Amino acid sequence: MHSNDDLLTNAEQFAAAFPHRDLPTPPSRHLAVVTCMDSRIDLFALFGLDLGEAHVLRNAGAIVTDDVLRSLVISQRLLNTAEIYVVAHTECGLHRLDEQAFMANLEEATGERPAWTTGTFDDADASVRRSLALVRSCTFLVDRAHVRGFVYDVHTGGLREVTH
């Protein structure tokens, strides 16, 4: 038995008593949140959200990529979200990552270099500002006025807004 097989048992028990059968597809708070995949970020607890209230898009570094923009456009145009939050955090794995060394490592291990970049950054606030600028410049989005950025502190649980 794998060490995580107990998670599958839990999934079966969860499905048997599933309490959210009737949630509508559009999030009730009309909110989409872009955040990092870091396992220390409990977005639902942080914002006091329940299931069905927000779309949550996670990737390494909370970086707004073409795929994140694609998801945000679908979120707004098809599922009626209006507000967008970008939430980065302290002590991110991409903070000060040596991208060239990482890519060289991948190439050495696999024989090829990825077409994508890691999105490494030296300053979380600057990274959030870059992501906000990308969102605000995306003409496919319906509402670009209600876009906010934050940095979450993984040690205190505090949330700080990033201003222009």
pTM: 0.92
Q: What is the CA radius of gyration of the chain?
A: 18
DSSP 112: S
Which H/E stretch holds residue 27? none
What is the tens place of the pLDDT at every residue in 88-110? Answer: 999 999 998 999 999 999 999 99
pLDDT of residue 37: 97
pLDDT of residue 3: 77
pLDDT of residue 73: 98
Domains within the chain, CATH numbers bracketed? 22-162 (3.40.1050.10)
Cα 71 from Cα 61, distance rounded (Å): 16
pLDDT of residue 52: 96
DSSP 121: B
Beta-bridge mates of residue 160: 151
Residue 137: which pLDDT band, with cuts at 50, 70 and 90?
very high
Separation of CA 80 from chain center: 19
Beta-bridge mates of residue 57: 34
Which H/E stretch holds residue 54? strand 54-59
pLDDT of residue 5: 86
Residue 63 has pLDDT above 60, yes or no: yes
* 71 and 125 Cβ atoms separated by less than 8 Å: no
pLDDT of residue 135: 98
pLDDT of residue 98: 95
pLDDT of residue 4: 87
Average pLDDT, the chain: 95
